[in-house]
Structure 1
Amino acid sequence: MAALGNNTLEVFDLRTNRWVQSIRGLYHPQGVLYVPESQKLFVANAEGGQVVIYDGESLKRVSAVEGLNDADNVRLDAAARQVYVGYGDGALAVLDAGDGKRLGNIKLDGHPESFQLEKSGPRVFVNVPSARHIAVVDRKRKEVVARWPLGGDEANFPMAFDEANSRLFVACRKPPVILVIDTKSGKTTARVDSPGDADDLCYDAAGRSLYISGGEGFISVVNQRGPDQYGAFNKIPSAAGARTSFWAPDLHRLYLAVPHRAEQKPEERVYGTEP
């Protein structure tokens, strides 16, 4: 877990729910990605312009990729053995998943927030809030091939993907809504009420559910009845400002980072679902 305020990376054992150690010496860490094949850990830093690479076994620093100011979200293209990093005023950097060598750069119209890679094709779907659209990137051509406007909706930060049904989920903050988008046409096929200040959105394919964490103090759960049919969201109390979450499908668990605020202590909360 990236602890941005502490400039550390906190390591937990997900099976035992125990804290393991802190990795120090980072500068506003944000995106974190582990690459199983190369056993490398990539950590994007919002300050300092670095993506730092660690050995996944020893957790020792191996190298760093420079020149990536405001590095944020990180994703893996496992088939191509490449890592994508959103950074700066508007770009995706492409890195080798083994040694971190910089392989390319894809220009965008603004700073990228959450993005998702499709496995069945070459596309990347990228939230670009400042441009009020979703950029569609072709990974082979290394360029934007389409832009899907949001219409009257704004502040599209979190994103999740149901590739089996060709549905992209985009949470907007203004107004608070989840857009369900057909990735074959780019058209919005459904709108679902969302909590305010949403920052992470997870899709549980097995449970056919969406989990949304927002800063208002609760987690929202939305049941998927069909590709374009969704139930009203249910609220699960959490904590004020706890909007960063991670879904572990193999464990059927949602992990929520709770920040320190007044009497509220920082902690990692674990929520279980029925398999």
Structure 2
Amino acid sequence: MKRSTFCLLALSLLTASVNAQSGYHLVKTIHIASPGGWDYPASDPGSNKLFLSHSSQVNIVDKTTGDSVGVITGTTGVHGIAFANAFGKGYTSNGRTNNVTVFDLKTHAMLGQVATGKNPDWIMYDAFSKKIITSDHSAGSLTVIDPATDKVVATIIVPGTLETIASDNAGKLFVNVEDKNEIVAVDIVKNEVIAHWSLGSAEGPTGLAIDTKTKRLFATCDKVMVVMDCTNGKIVAQVPIGDGCDGAAFDPATKTVFASNGEGTMTVVSEVSANEYKVTETVKTKKGARTITIDEKTHRLYLPTADYEPVPADAPKNTRAKMIPGSFQVLVYEK
């Protein structure tokens, strides 16, 4: 074999090897041809279903094929979806009607509605307390619902504009307070606030994820991710992220944190140790892909967005691009 041929072959093999390890990349785009905006997606850990908040309804698709498997209606201004699999129920936070819709996880039929504080935003199931909790964005409160009865059992006052909640699965909840640039710790057994922790110079916390093993919270703020010790509120690291982030996700198997940035990127952060973090990738996504969820079984990431019309050259400063009707879609990434 000639030396030049050998070199070309070696270069080709090296390139193939690099491409095979090229990091997180787009593997599928799921198109959903219906109008309206969106907020948080949610991957059901008990099934192969992906639930997508979409204006006044929730679209349900098969995570593998992307095929539609159902729609939940009557969820006006829906923000998020939570799953109480042990009870066979799902819950949606309906921001415009100030309530939660309860539905059957198998049939998707509505089972009822529960009143909450004003504009329920994030919603989650806490496995420790076996409760559904909403962050009432405009009310400064958390609504606690017992899925056994679908009754409100507590309203916890947390003054401020509330965003994402995370649980340590040991009796404590943590909630981002967007307008006060802090994280509030809550005792979910006593249903009371136990601490207010400043995020320092970081502003506008929205997304929040947690590593329950290292006891670290990951708060996505304006262009920065703050890593905080959830036992004492100490800030242990700050990592740069993209602009317009509204979501965070954590993969406990790979010790990786993700920030979905509305500017059209996804920041991938490696947890080297409990106190050391580094950006390993900045993945190109699409404008508007600001929220995110992860399937911890497959490690796939789901980011909803849409296509946008160009902003007119003579439009006033800060004019938002208009969404193209019917262009709602979900970007699927994996490594």
What TM-score bracket applies, with the shorter chain setting the length?
Answer: over 0.9
What is the aligned partner in structure 1 of residue 108 from structure 2? 59
Which of 208, 232, 248 in structure 1 is aligned with 2:255? Answer: 208
Query: So what's the TM-score if we normalise by structure 2?
Result: 0.77
What is the aligned partner in structure 2 of residue 194 from structure 1? 241
- Aligned residue pairs total 269
Equivalent-residue separation in structure 2 for 1:79 and 1:159 (angstroms): 18
1:147, CA displacement in angstroms? 0.4
Deviations along 1:195-231, one digit per CA (max 9) or x if unpaired, are 1111111111111111111110111111121111122
Cα distance change on mapping 1:40 and 1:59 into 2, 3 Å: same
1:233, CA displacement in angstroms? 4.4
What is the aligned partner in structure 1 of residue 53 from structure 2? 3
1:124, CA displacement in angstroms? 0.7
| Long gaps (5+) in structure 2 | 1-50, 311-323
Higher mean alpha-carbon deviation, 227-236 vs 69-78, is at: 227-236
Deviations along 1:50-90, one digit per CA (max 9) or x if unpaired, are 10101111111111002432011111122332111111320
What is the aligned partner in structure 2 of residue 76 from structure 1? 125
Deviations along 1:148-189, one digit per CA (max 9) or x if unpaired, are 01222210111110110111111111xx11111112221101
What is the aligned partner in structure 1 of residue 264 from structure 2? 217
What is the aligned partner in structure 2 of residue 268 from structure 1? 330
Whether the 8 Å contact between 2:140 and 2:158 is mirrored in structure 1 is yes
| Long gaps (5+) in structure 1 | none
Structure 2 SS opposite 1:114:
strand
Q: Per residue, is there more strand in 1 or in 2?
A: 1
Structure 2 SS opposite 1:79:
coil
Equivalent-residue separation in structure 2 for 1:118 and 1:67 (angstroms): 23
Query: What is the identity, as a one-letter code, of the residue corresponding to 1:118?
Result: D
Which of 98, 115, 123 in structure 1 is aligned with 2:165? Answer: 115
Cα distance change on mapping 1:66 and 1:184 into 2, 3 Å: closer
What is the aligned partner in structure 2 of residue 130 from structure 1? 179
Map 1:1-275 to 2 at 5 A. 1-5=51-55, 7-87=56-136, 88-119=138-169, 121-173=170-222, 176-262=223-309, 265-273=327-335
Structure 1 SS opposite 2:260:
strand
Cα distance change on mapping 1:67 and 1:164 into 2, 3 Å: closer
Query: What is the identity, as a one-letter code, of the residue corresponding to 1:84?
Result: I
Whether the 8 Å contact between 2:83 and 2:124 is mirrored in structure 1 is no
Whether the 8 Å contact between 1:45 and 1:71 is mirrored in structure 2 is yes
Equivalent-residue separation in structure 2 for 1:36 and 1:222 (angstroms): 30
Equivalent-residue separation in structure 1 for 2:159 and 2:115 (angstroms): 22
1:24, CA displacement in angstroms? 2.3
Structure 1 SS opposite 2:179:
helix
State which structure, 1 or 2, has the greater radius of gyration over its C-alpha atoms.
2
Equivalent-residue separation in structure 2 for 1:216 and 1:170 (angstroms): 18
Query: So what's the TM-score if we normalise by structure 1?
Result: 0.93
1:254, CA displacement in angstroms? 0.4
Query: What is the identity, as a one-letter code, of the residue corresponding to 2:248?
Result: L
> Percent sequence identity over matched residues?
26
